[in-house]
Structure formats: C-alpha cells, structure tokens
C-alpha cells in the first residue's frame, strides 16, 4: 500500500495512522504548519498560528501514544475558529475591537478538545463577531475560497471551511448562528455540522446571538464529524442553556441502513431563488438516497420564507446587547486620550467595530426600543414559534429534511458587499434550523463550474446520530467529499 | 399662564417604596465569586462578574430559595415561572452593558405586610411584586484625582427588589413599612439589613394630590435612601416642595431626585425625557426559573416564626401589651434574648422581664451604641438580676444600681450585691429596730403624726430608708411603720 500523504487523510485516517505509529503527531503537526504558512498569502485562513505550542502539544501526544495511554483523538491537530476563547492566545473574533485580546481562559469546547489530546494549530479567520456570509467583514481581511481565490469561502466560519478544504488543517471548530457553519462548508466543499442548540456548550464562545449561536465542526467527512462531536458535546454546568442528555457514540451508528428512511423535501427549499444548476446536483443526491433505500416525501413549512426577516430582528436584538460589554473599559480596543466617559464609549466602539457589526447593533437597538419592541421583537418571536411548529409538523412525516444549503455556489469577492439584503438572502435555507434550535449539516454533493455545491440535512432535536448516519452512507456511495482543490492537492 | 390654586386645599401624600435588599448568599447571583463586604477592590470579581467575552451567567439556586422565603412570608403569589431580562444601559460599573433583572415576570407577585402606626392602628401595605436582580459595581472617586476607579466586587451581588403599592400616606407610614420589611428580611435570614454598607436601601416615589381626588399626582422618585431617618426627612422635604410648587402655580415634573443629607433637601437628577430607554428583553443566556411544588414546600417548611406570629404569641403567652410584644419582636435576636431571660427567671414575672429588657437594658445598649450580641450583660446575667428582685433580695431601685455595675464591671448581680452589701433588709427585727430609733430621734414629728398629720408618714419612710441605706424592704417597712406609728 502506497502511503497516502498526511494532508490527504481524513481526521479519522490520521487518528488511525497515529495509533499504528505510521507517523508521529509532531510529523503531522509540522506538515500542517508548513501548509498553513504556504497558503497564508493566498487564503488568509489563519489569524494566529500557534506553531510552537502546537509542536509542544504534539510531543506530549506522541509520548502518550508511545505509552499506550492515548485516546481516540490524541495527537490529531485541528484549528479553532477565533470566536472561541483560548487561554494565553489571541482571541480576536475577527474584530479590531479584540485585536489585542489575549483570553485568560479556555472555552469549554476548547478545553474538551485539548483534554481529548488534540493539538491546536492556531486560530482561524472569520467574519467580524460572526456577522457575515462571505468572510469579508473580518478586520484581518477576507479569506479566499481554495477552489477559486477570486471567490468568497462563505461565512462566518470562512476560515474554518477554507482551511479544511485546502487541507491546511484536517478539521476546524466553527459556529453557526444563521448558517455560519453550513454555508461556508457548502461553498468550500467540506462537511459541516451545527448540532442541536444546547448540545455543545457556549461557554467561552464569544456571543453574537445567544439564542441562536451553536458551536460545531467543519471536517472532511461525516465520520470525522462523528468522532469530534463525541468529544465536544454534552452538558456544561457553566452554560445554563446546555442540555443534560446523554451523548451517544456517534461513530457507532454511522453505517446503519437507510432502508425506509423518510426524507422530507421542504417545498420552500426548492423555490425560485435556487440556482438551477445547484438544484440539479441536489436532485442527483436525492437519487443516491433513493438507491440507498430512503423514501422521498414532500413536506410543507409555510412560514419558512419568513425566517430571514425574523432572524434579522432577533439576531441583531441579541447582538446589540451582547456587544455592549465592548466599551473600552476593561479589555479590547480603547480610543486614545478619551476626553470623558461618553467620548471613551463613542470612539472606542466607533473605531473598534466594523460597518456590518455597527449596522446590526443599530438595527437591534432599534427593534428593542420603547414603542418598537412589540412590533418587531415580540412579533419576530411569535413568527419564530410558528417556524418551529412548521418543522415539528414536518418531522411527523419525515425523519430528516434534505435540500440545498445555499441558493448559489461561491460568489466573487466584493460582489455582494454593497447590498446587505442580497448578502443576507444567502442564509435563506439555513436560518430556519437556528430559529428552531434544530441540528443541521452540509455535505458536498457536486460542483457547478468548478465550485462545490452543498447538500443540507436537517433533523429533529438531538438527532445528530441519525443525520451523521445519513451523511456517512451518502459519503460511502460518493466521493465529492474527497475532492480537493488542485492548488492544494 | 399659571392656574390659580386655592391655598386652603388639604393635600394628601401618596408614597410607594422600592426596597433593595441584598440577599445573604455566599456567592453571587450568577457567578461563584464571594459576596463578602469590604474586600480590596476587584478581588471578588471573576471573569463572569467582569463581563469577559464568552462568559455566561448561571443562576444561584440559594438566591431563588431566599426570594421564595420572602414571598411566602408576605403571603404573596409565587410565580411558578419567572424570567430574567436584560436592562440595557452603558455605565462603567455595569460590566456587561446590561443588568440582569426580572422585569415582566417576577418571581414574587402580590403580597402584603401589616404595619402598626404611632396611634396603634394597623394598616395593610400592598406589595406589588418582588423580583431578583444583580447589583452593579461601584465607581470610586476618593483619592483618585483626575480618574474614576471601578470596583466590581459588588457587581453581581444578588438583590431582591421589593416594590410596594402606593399605599402609604405619610413619611412616618413609609418608615414604619420599611422597618417592617427590614425586620422581616433579617428574621428570614435572607439579608443582613446593614444599611451603612448598602445591604438595605430604598427608592421612594412621592406625589401629592388634593384630598378626595382619585387621580394620583405626578410623582418624583427619590433614589438610594439608606437610613430610616433619611427616608423620613427626604419624603417630608419632597412633600413640602411639591405642595409649595403647586400652590405657587407650578407643576411637579416626573423625574428622579437625589437626597442630600447635608443640606436636607432633594434635587433633580434626571427628568423623564432624559431617562434611559432600557430596551428590556428576556435574557437568552438564562432559562425561565421554574418553581416545582417540592421546592416550595421545602422552603415553606424552613420558614422561622415570623415577627407578627411571634408578637401575637408573646402577647398571649406572656401577657404583654401589643406594644411591648411588638418592641420585643422587632428583631429575631431581641425576641430570643427576651425569651431566654423569661425562661431563666422561671417563666413568671414576664412583664417585669419585658420592662427590664426594653428599659434599662436597651437604654445602655443605645447609650454605648452596641448590637445586642455585644451587650455587656447577657440574658443569664439579666435573669440573675431579675431573680434577685423577684426573691426580694434587692429592691427594684437598688437593682438599677446593680445593673449599671454589672454592665461596667462585667460581673454577676450576686457578686455586686455581696461586694457592696446591697442585700435588702427583710429581717423584721432589724427594720423594727431602725423604726424605733427614728421615732426616738423625732418625738415632735411623732406627736404631730399621731395628732392627725398623716402626711408625715412619708417623712418617716424616708428617715428609715436613710438609716438603712435604702435596703429596707419597702413593703415590710410600710407595714411595720404603720403599726408602730399607730402606737
């Protein structure tokens, strides 16, 4: 058997190789560090590379591997989205506001992965405070799509998706508030999973919209996602919204039969906004599922088209409050020579936040204001209930819902930045799951003009095992997820 | 143009109080930091209290139990589902840029407390709601020229805000109500009641209206009153100010005012127009607080005897007046002290014990400005003294002298009685001897008395007492003297 180069292995493959001592964690880590450095001018996927610490952690992992005390993830490298607090390491959230912020603590997700023996390569780029769908709002410059560097990688977890697609990291953590894991995964041709709201602790994940934010993963395969999800999922006493239900072994059910699986096709997911070439790829994927024994049923979610406006009331409202702590007083950017308190606030925030963040803070402040609260915030919360009800109804007819992740493939940098509404509409298929707290995935299912297309799977609450099973079976029938951009082969 | 107002209008004052009581939990309401008062600045503030990026609040269950205790004690409706909201505003001592507070759905709704007014009548004061919230930090200016320091030790300290109905009609009523709440929270051991440290403070909403008018007048809110005296003075000042303003053709504006204790006046802080729009909305980081039956029953079972219950029991069990029972139950400690004294005296003479506790004992506590726990004479000591009055070893008058000596010297009543030879003379022979001597020395007065000058009886009592150093048992002396003088 000819040895597969390190970077072409999945995370599961790396873990196996490490176990068999085919290579050491230091070798693997060094390989990725080299690829990161080489890619940085083109992709700009990383904000911070923690090379030295990574090699030190890899050496510790190697010792554990040698002594036979290793766990399933010992020595596997990965990257963290720069929204997760990492002790002693710069944690910028893609913002000038936190360009100088070294976190004094680890997020729960970071601590769990470290305790599982993974090696952190560094912190990946993202839209500022996770607000964006193209990674163009980052203070540290846009990330580029490895399939075509004229194109955006999607956002807000654009750095995570681009890094995995370019194999400069075998996996990356990510977060999803309205599609920020699934949409970039789709645009970069990788696997993304946003777990059920409450499945993964939000402690240490810098909040954008607390009722929607959920940490998750971007990987090369459903199998990799299953392996990592087992390490990050579970109740955290430091997050009141995390849910105390047992975490199953997600890898155990990956190969289960899909015979009789009821796949719901949401009528509203195949509307006129969907690019016809993308739709063709989606339909082809559905045919694969039929071959695997699944049944297709059409379901209706009549309130789903309201998800974008609903989201753009709820998310900005929460963000306007969540981002109030960035006031120049205790951490982060502080303006030079403040004249008085108001001047300190105005200039620190005015200088520290970018345009999109300001737009959302203003929108959120407006919808929560006296006289507007009922008309906007309360009404949006009611619509949110209706959308949740639509999904609940759909899940009486279907086990999972399958459709497109994004209406279009990756688009050129700068093409949508002038019109926020056009940009917001990119998340039209993904936002519903966030509003209802449902788990969702995106897996690669083909290409349009050399750009990847993503297939979205949405399941009922805590159905991650079933979703991963459906994704894995598809990935055993297809090899879209193993394609890699020529420049990074 | 100012409307002419008849100046003979009789004005009625309307007052509602918002009392902030700091809950006596060990840790903060949403973090594990300690709540102890007086630590060096920012040594009791962890990342959650500092509002660091990514941190989340977790509700302290003890704070919920304390709020339930209060709710049950005022006979309130306990809301089985209450919600924390965010009150958004910028201030340096508010690290997150919002305060977490219950807004639309508080944990305690609709209760009441009865207060006894000066004229002895009872009045029921409605309590609209009581809700949980976190306190803010403090801005420091002293000793920091040119800059403002921030101390976040207090940030996140649990508070219960107790909002009354506008049921009070005078500053005195407001103070009586505030004292009642103060007594109650200390009985329940949910607040230390320390007003100097800010553990118990209030905002007063004050308005006036012509008596008989239904509609409330425009109110002013006086912020942050931290002593009963200030509450009374600030409200009285505000009443005068509003009446004068209206009578001179002006109008009260809705605003927030501050009381300046040095000048004894209130002054405007901000008007309604300048008030913040707090943009309240439910805090998505916290789940609704759901109260199960089992928890409520556990808390109910843990309630101590409440002040009103204890006062009623004192009145019936010890035969005390309502007033005395009220004074003796004003604090849990005082009630316990009194009961120990009575028990040690043997359960009898409860009224005498009450007089001593409320009289000489309280007087010396006040004189030395001491807390009950630091009294120089403990319950056993005071009971020892009262026992010597009851068994006639000393008279009530001598007892006062003994008590002061006990307080100053820290010894027992018996030791002082012995050392100073204060034992009362109850030996009939000794008293008779003294009477004989006085009669022999004053033949003129004796003759006058016997010829009908009854008033001279007091002269003879005084002379005998003088001769015995005040130690003759008064009852015996009276009886013997009457007999002897009669001849």
**In a shared domain, residues A310 and A180:** no
- B140 to chain A, any CB pair closer than 8 A? The answer is no
CA-based nearest residue to A440, from A186, A260, A143, A80: A186
- A237 to chain B, any CB pair closer than 8 A? The answer is yes
> Between β-strands A214-219 and A191-194, what pairing exists: parallel, antiparallel or unpaired?
antiparallel
> How confident is residue A134, by pLDDT bands cut at 50, 70 and 90?
very high
| Placement of tokens 């030295």 in the chain | A52
- What's the pLDDT score for residue A273? 87
Residues in contact with B253: Cβ distance below 8 Å, sequence separation at least 6, in sequence order: B218, B220, B271, B272
d(CA A155, CA A175): 10
Q: What is the mean pLDDT of chain B?
A: 93
pLDDT digits (tens, 9 = 90+) for A422-431: 888 889 999 9
Q: Where are the alpha helices (DSSP H) in A173-275?
A: 182-188, 222-232
**In a shared domain, residues A257 and A339:** no
Q: From start to end of A37-176, where are the E strands?
A: 46-49, 77-81, 119-124, 172-176
CATH number at residue A449: 3.90.1300.10
- What's the pLDDT score for residue B302? 96
> How confident is residue A2, by pLDDT bands cut at 50, 70 and 90?
low
Counting Cα atoms < 13 Å in the Cβ hemisphere of A426 gives 31
H/E stretch holding A316 reads helix A307-322
Both tokens of B119, joined, read 């004229």
Chain A residues with CB-CB distance to B287 below 8 A? 240-241
ipTM of predicted complex: 0.96
- What's the pLDDT score for residue B5? 54
Chain B residues with CB-CB distance to A91 below 8 A? 53
In the predicted model, what is the mean pLDDT of residues B244-254? 94
d(CA A174, CA A160): 6
H/E stretch holding A124 reads strand A119-124
Whether B480 and B439 have beta carbons less than 8 Å apart is answered as: no
pLDDT digits (tens, 9 = 90+) for B123-176: 999 999 999 999 999 988 888 888 889 999 999 999 999 999 999 999 999 999
Q: Where are the alpha helices (DSSP H) in A137-181?
A: 158-165
Chain B residues with CB-CB distance to A82 below 8 A? none
* Known catalytic residue at A160: no
d(CA A484, CA A10): 12
d(CA B230, CA B227): 5
* Known catalytic residue at A81: yes
**Cα angle, residue A241 at apex, residues A239 and A244 outer, rounded to 5°:** 85
The rounded Cα B232 to chain-centroid distance in angstroms is 14
**In a shared domain, residues A81 and A205:** yes
- Comparing B456 with A179, which gets the higher pLDDT? A179
Residues in chain B: 487
Q: Return the residue in B41, B52, B53 with the most chain A beta carbons within 10 A, the one to mutate for interface testing.
A: B53
d(CA B443, CA B465): 18
Neighbours of A209 (CB within 10 A): 25
Chain B residues with CB-CB distance to A241 below 8 A? 56, 284-287
Q: With CB atoms and an 8 Å threshold, state whether B284 touches A238.
A: no
- What's the pLDDT score for residue A116? 97
Q: Is residue A283 part of a domain?
A: no
Q: With CB atoms and an 8 Å threshold, state whether A368 touches B96.
A: no
Q: Is residue A410 part of a domain?
A: yes
In the predicted model, what is the mean pLDDT of residues A337-353? 96
Q: Is residue A389 part of a domain?
A: no
Final residue belonging to a domain, choices A318, A346, A381: A381
Final residue belonging to a domain, choices A331, A348, A381: A381
> How confident is residue B200, by pLDDT bands cut at 50, 70 and 90?
very high
Q: What is the mean pLDDT of chain A?
A: 97
Please identify which of the residues A25, A95, A134, A156 carries the catalytic annotation.
A156
d(CA B152, CA B138): 6
Does residue A338 surpass a pLDDT of 90?
yes
**In a shared domain, residues A438 and A405:** yes
Residue of A nearest to B51 (CA): A325
- Report the gap between the CA of B83 and the closest CA in chain A (Å): 13
CA dihedral A409, A415, A420, A424 (to 10 degrees): 0
Does residue A269 surpass a pLDDT of 60?
yes
**In a shared domain, residues A64 and A176:** yes
* Known catalytic residue at A415: no
Residues 86-125 of chain B whose Cβ lies under 8 A from any Cβ of chain A: 86, 88, 90, 92, 95-98
Whether A448 and A182 have beta carbons less than 8 Å apart is answered as: no
Count of domains forming chain A: 2
The packing angle between helices A355-368 and A307-322, to 10°, is 100
Q: Is residue A203 part of a domain?
A: yes
Does residue B2 surpass a pLDDT of 50?
no
Counting Cα atoms < 13 Å in the Cβ hemisphere of A138 gives 32
Chain A residues with CB-CB distance to B99 below 8 A? none
Does residue B3 surpass a pLDDT of 70?
no
**In a shared domain, residues A18 and A91:** yes
pLDDT digits (tens, 9 = 90+) for B407-421: 999 999 999 988 888
- B287 to chain A, any CB pair closer than 8 A? The answer is yes
pLDDT digits (tens, 9 = 90+) for A355-381: 999 999 999 999 999 999 999 999 999
d(CA A33, CA A28): 9
> How confident is residue B7, by pLDDT bands cut at 50, 70 and 90?
low
pLDDT digits (tens, 9 = 90+) for B469-487: 888 888 888 889 889 888 7
**In a shared domain, residues A228 and A315:** no
- A396 to chain B, any CB pair closer than 8 A? The answer is no
* DSSP letters for B372-397: GGG-SS-HHHHHHHHHHHHTTSS-HH
pLDDT digits (tens, 9 = 90+) for B66-83: 999 999 999 999 999 999
Chain A residues with CB-CB distance to B51 below 8 A? 325, 330
- What's the pLDDT score for residue A1? 47
**In a shared domain, residues A436 and A322:** no
- Report the gap between the CA of B90 and the closest CA in chain A (Å): 7
Three-state SS at A15: helix
- Comparing B326 with B16, which gets the higher pLDDT? B16
What is the C-alpha R_g of chain B? 30
**In a shared domain, residues A224 and A311:** no
Q: With CB atoms and an 8 Å threshold, state whether A240 touches B277.
A: no
**In a shared domain, residues A361 and A442:** no
d(CA A320, CA B277): 14
- Report the gap between the CA of A89 and the closest CA in chain B (Å): 14
Three-state SS at B267: strand
**In a shared domain, residues A104 and A197:** yes
- Report the gap between the CA of A252 and the closest CA in chain B (Å): 33
**Domain range holding A328?**
306-381
Residue of B nearest to A325 (CA): B96
Whether A160 and A81 have beta carbons less than 8 Å apart is answered as: yes
Final residue belonging to a domain, choices A351, A381, A411: A381
- Predicted TM-score of the model (pTM): 0.90
Residues 107-136 of chain A whose Cβ lies under 8 A from any Cβ of chain B: 107
Q: With CB atoms and an 8 Å threshold, state whether A85 touches B86.
A: no
Residues in contact with A56: Cβ distance below 8 Å, sequence separation at least 6, in sequence order: none
d(CA A456, CA A278): 12
| Placement of tokens 């230091």 in the chain | A26
- A98 to chain B, any CB pair closer than 8 A? The answer is yes
Q: Which of B53, B55, B90 sits opposite A327 (nearest CB)?
A: B90
Chain A residues with CB-CB distance to B58 below 8 A? 237-240
Q: Which of A203, A211, A238 sits opposite B284 (nearest CB)?
A: A211
**Max Cα separation, chain B?**
101
- Comparing B450 with A149, which gets the higher pLDDT? A149
- B285 to chain A, any CB pair closer than 8 A? The answer is yes
- Report the gap between the CA of B156 and the closest CA in chain A (Å): 15
Counting Cα atoms < 13 Å in the Cβ hemisphere of B157 gives 27
Q: Is residue A290 part of a domain?
A: no
- B57 to chain A, any CB pair closer than 8 A? The answer is yes
**In a shared domain, residues A258 and A135:** yes
Q: Is residue A273 part of a domain?
A: no
Both tokens of B308, joined, read 């009103």
Residues in chain A: 489
Q: Is residue A256 part of a domain?
A: yes
- A385 to chain B, any CB pair closer than 8 A? The answer is no
Q: Is residue A297 part of a domain?
A: no
- What phi-psi label fits residue A348: left (phi over 0), alpha (psi between -120 and 50 degrees) or beta? alpha
Query: What are phi and psi for residue A172, nearest 5 degrees?
Result: -145, 145
């Amino acid at each position: 058997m000819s040895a597969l180069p390190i970077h072409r292995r999945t995370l599961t493959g790396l873990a196996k190789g490490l176990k068999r001592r085919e290579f050491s964690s230091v070798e693997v880590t060094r390989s990725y560090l080299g690829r990161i450095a080489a890619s940085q001018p083109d992709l700009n996927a990383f904000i911070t590379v923690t090379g030295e610490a990574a090699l030190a952690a890899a050496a510790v992992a190697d010792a554990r591997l040698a002594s036979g005390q290793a766990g399933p993830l010992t020595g596997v490298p990965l990257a963290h989205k720069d929204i997760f607090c990492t002790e002693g390491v710069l944690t910028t959230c893609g913002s000038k506001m936190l360009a100088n912020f070294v976190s004094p603590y680890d997020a729960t997700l970071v601590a769990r992965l470290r305790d599982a023996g993974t090696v952190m390569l560094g912190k990946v780029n993202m839209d500022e405070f996770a607000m964006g769908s193209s990674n163009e709002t980052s203070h540290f410059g846009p990330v580029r799509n490895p399939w075509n560097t004229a194109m955006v990688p999607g956002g807000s977890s654009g750095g995570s998706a681009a890094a995995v697609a370019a194999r400069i990291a075998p996996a990356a953590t990510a977060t999803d508030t309205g599609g920020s894991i699934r949409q970039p995964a789709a645009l970069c041709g990788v696997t993304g999973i946003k777990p059920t709201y409450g499945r993964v602790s939000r402690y240490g994940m810098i909040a954008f919209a607390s009722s929607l934010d959920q940490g998750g993963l971007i990987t090369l395969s459903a199998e990799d996602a299953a392996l990592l999800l087992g390490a990050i999922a579970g109740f955290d006493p430091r997050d009141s919204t995390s849910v105390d239900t047992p975490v199953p072994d997600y890898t155990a059910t990956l190969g289960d039969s899909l015979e009789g699986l009821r796949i719901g096709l949401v009528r509203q997911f195949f509307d006129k906004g969907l690019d016809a070439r993308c739709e063709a790829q989606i339909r082809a994927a559905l045919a694969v599922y039929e071959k695997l024994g699944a049944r297709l049923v059409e379901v209706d979610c009549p309130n789903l088209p309201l998800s974008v406006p609903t989201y753009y009331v709820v998310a900005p409202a929460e963000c306007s409050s969540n981002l109030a702590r960035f006031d120049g007083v205790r951490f982060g950017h502080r303006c030079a020579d403040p004249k008085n308190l108001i001047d300190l606030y105005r200039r620190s925030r005015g200088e520290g936040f970018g345009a999109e963040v300001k737009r959302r803070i203003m929108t959120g402040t407006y919808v929560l204001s006296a006289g507007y609260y009922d008309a906007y915030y309360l009404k949006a919360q009611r619509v949110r209930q209706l959308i949740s009800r639509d999904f609940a109804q759909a899940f009486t007819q279907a086990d999972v819902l399958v459709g497109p992740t994004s209406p279009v493939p990756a688009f050129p940098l700068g093409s949508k930045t002038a019109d926020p509404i056009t940009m917001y509409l990119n998340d039209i298929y993904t936002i519903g799951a966030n509003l209802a707290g449902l788990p969702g995935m995106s897996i690669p299912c083909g290409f349009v003009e050399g750009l990847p297309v993503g297939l979205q799977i949405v399941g009922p609450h805590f159905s991650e095992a079933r979703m991963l099973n459906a994704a894995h079976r598809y990935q055993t029938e297809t090899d879209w997820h193993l394609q890699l951009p020529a420049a990074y082969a | 143009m100012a409307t002419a107002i008849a100046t003979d209008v009789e004005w009625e004052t309307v007052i509602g109080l918002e009392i902030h009581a700091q809950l006596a939990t060990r840790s903060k309401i949403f973090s594990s930091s300690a709540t102890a008062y007086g630590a060096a600045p920012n040594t009791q503030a962890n990342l959650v209290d500092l509002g660091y990026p990514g941190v989340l609040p977790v509700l302290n269950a003890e704070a919920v139990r304390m709020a339930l205790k209060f709710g049950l004690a005022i006979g309130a409706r306990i809301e089985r589902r209450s919600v924390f909201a965010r009150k958004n505003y910028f201030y340096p001592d508010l690290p997150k840029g919002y305060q977490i507070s219950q807004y639309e759905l508080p944990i305690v709704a609709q209760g009441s407390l009865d207060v006894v007014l000066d004229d002895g009548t009872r009045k029921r004061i409605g309590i609209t709601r009581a809700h949980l919230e976190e306190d803010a930090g403090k801005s420091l200016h002293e000793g920091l020229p040119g800059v403002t320091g921030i101390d976040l030790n207090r940030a996140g300290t649990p508070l219960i805000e107790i909002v009354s109905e506008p049921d009070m009609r005078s500053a005195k009523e407001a103070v009586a109500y505030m004292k009642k709440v103060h007594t109650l929270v200390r009985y329940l051991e949910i607040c230390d009641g320390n007003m100097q440290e800010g553990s118990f403070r209030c905002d007063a909403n004050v308005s006036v209206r012509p008596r008989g008018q239904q509609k409330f007048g425009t109110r002013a809110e006086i912020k942050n009153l931290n002593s009963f005296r200030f509450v009374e003075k600030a409200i009285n000042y505000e009443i005068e100010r509003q009446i004068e303003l209206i009578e001179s053709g002006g109008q009260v504006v809705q605003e927030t005012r501050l009381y300046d204790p040095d000048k004894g006046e209130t002054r405007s802080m901000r008007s309604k127009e300048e008030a913040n729009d707090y943009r309240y909305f439910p805090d998505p980081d916290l789940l609704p607080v759901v109260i199960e039956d089992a928890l409520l029953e556990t808390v109910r079972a843990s309630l101590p005897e409440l002040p009103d219950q204890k006062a009623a029991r004192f009145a019936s069990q010890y035969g005390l007046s309502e007033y005395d029972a009220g004074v003796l139950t004003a604090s849990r400690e005082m009630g316990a002290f009194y009961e120990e004294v009575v028990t040690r005296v043997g359960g009898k003479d409860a009224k005498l014990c009450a007089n001593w506790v409320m009289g000489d004992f309280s007087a010396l506590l006040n004189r030395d400005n001491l807390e009950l726990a630091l009294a120089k004479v403990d319950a056993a000591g005071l009971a020892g003294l009262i026992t010597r009055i009851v068994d006639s070893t000393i008279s009530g008058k001598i007892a006062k002298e003994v008590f002061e000596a006990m307080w100053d010297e820290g010894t027992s009543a018996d030791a002082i009685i012995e050392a100073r030879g204060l034992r009362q003379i109850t030996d009939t022979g000794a008293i008779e001897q003294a009477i004989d001597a006085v009669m022999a020395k004053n033949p003129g007065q004796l003759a006058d008395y016997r010829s009908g000058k009854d008033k001279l009886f007091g002269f003879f009592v005084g002379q005998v007492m003088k001769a015995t150093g005040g130690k003759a048992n008064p009852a015996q002396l009276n009886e013997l003297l009457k007999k002897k003088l009669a001849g």
